[in-house]
Structure 1
Amino acid sequence: MSKRNKIIYWIATLWLALGMVATGYSQLSKEQEETDFTAHMGYPTYFLTILGIWKLLGAIAVLIPKFPLVKEWAYAGFFFVMTGAALSHMATGTMNNIFPSLLLLALTITSWYFRPADRKTISVNQ
């Protein structure tokens, strides 16, 4: 892996983890703004607890060494959650709040694409 790719990976991964921890914490603490917005989008309040826990666990998974299969699941979960969030914003007409979802989606894809071989489930020897 080139130095450039390693830098891209770590920047994307650290920002992704920071974003997931921040939003996960916000969801777990059930701040009034968060619960109001969730209700406006038509989701039950307990959904915040589920999302918050999984975001925190996913952030840990992408940062710790080893466990490539767990990392794949975390990246997949982040992808589904962020695409679901973006589509929910589109469906409810809250397009002014779509940017964080799209940013975290872009960071998920970037981190996944540039991850080192030892963080992949299958590595190809070249």
Structure 2
Amino acid sequence: MSKRNKIIYWIATVWLSLGMVSTAIVQLIPVEEEAEKMKALGYPSYFLTILGVWKLLGVVAVLVPKFPVLKEWAYAGFFFAMTGAAISHIAMSDPMGEIFPSLLLLLLTIVSWYFRPAARKTLTLSHN
């Protein structure tokens, strides 16, 4: 892995992790504003707890060494959660300020996944 790709990977992964942890904390702390947002999107408030726990577990999976299959699941979970959030906000005609955070985390998920080192992948292709 080139130095450039390693830098891109770690910048994207650190920012992704910070974003997921910060939103997970907000989702896990009983904040009435967050519950109202979920209700406006058509989701039950207990969904906040589920998402918050999954995000924290996903960050751990992405950051710890080894366990490449678990990492793939974590990246997939981030991808589904962030596309779901973006689509939910778009469907409700929310302003871009509500849509942008999920799109940013989605972009960071894709960049982190794409540039991850070979040791963090489930399958390495070799060219003989």
TM-score tier (shorter): over 0.9
Distance of 1:79 and 1:90 partners within structure 2: 16
Distance of 1:10 and 1:99 partners within structure 2: 22
Any residues of structure 2 matched to 1:1-126 within 5 Å, and which? 1-96=1-96, 97-126=98-127
Q: Which runs of 5 or more structure 1 residues have no equivalent in the other structure?
A: none
* AA matched with 2:116: R
State the identity as a percent.
67
Distance of 1:117 and 1:125 partners within structure 2: 11
Distance of 2:13 and 2:103 partners within structure 1: 15
Residues paired across the two proteins, number: 126
* AA matched with 1:51: L
Displacement after TM superposition at 1:23 (Å): 0.4
The more displaced of 88-97 and 10-19 is 88-97
Distance of 1:99 and 1:59 partners within structure 2: 20
Displacement after TM superposition at 1:33 (Å): 1.5
CA deviation profile, 1:10-46 (whole Å, cap 9, x unmatched): 0000000110000011101121221111111111011
* RMSD across aligned positions (CA): 0.8
Distance of 1:105 and 1:22 partners within structure 2: 15
